[in-house]
Amino acid sequence: MNRQLTWDGESIKQKVVTEEKKFTPKEILDSLQHVRNQIGQMNQQLAQISNQEKQIKANLTSATEFEMQLKAFEQKCRVLQEDKLRSIVMKITPECEEMAAKSSKETIAKDPEAYTEEQKKKLPYLDFQKNLATHPKVAENISQHIIREFLYETPVFVNPFKE
């Protein structure tokens, strides 16, 4: 490869002259075989993708049908889970309240300067909420969705630390 640089006004122009190259019949045949192999591999990949697409569509159809079957039970299950959660929360509230008061005092005592007054007031409630959600009776028997909805988003309990 031969490179020539020359001025072209305010720019420098580069001209690259390539050498003439000759290919032997062997090189042409080898290159042709290589390209054909690549084409074959690409066609196999396309076939695999097509099969995967068919399988995904079949799985989607099956999952949708299963969802429709389960959906008929959803409302009653939600009511049962909410009732069970309320019952468990009533039973474990004193225990969780005591644990929350103790753990929040310990947390604040470790570094009182790390928390604002507002955070110090909210910490016992947040610990209480977490204790309710992670209590074994709740965690093992109640759906995560129900826990999130009725202990965090719209709590079904009264804040025992509210002033």
Where do the structural domains in the chain lie, given as residue ranges? 24-153
Query: What predicted TM-score, i.e. pTM, was given to this entire model?
Result: 0.66
- pLDDT tens, position by position, 38-63: 999 999 999 999 999 999 999 999 99
**pLDDT of amino acid 18:** 81
Q: Is the pLDDT of residue 118 over 90?
A: no
Q: Taking 70 as the threshold, does the pLDDT of residue 155 lie above it?
A: yes
- Angle separating helix axes 117-134 and 25-110, nearest 10 degrees: 110
Alpha carbon separation from 78 to 83, 131, 150 (Å, rounded) = 9, 22, 11
Max Cα–Cα distance, the chain, nearest Å: 92
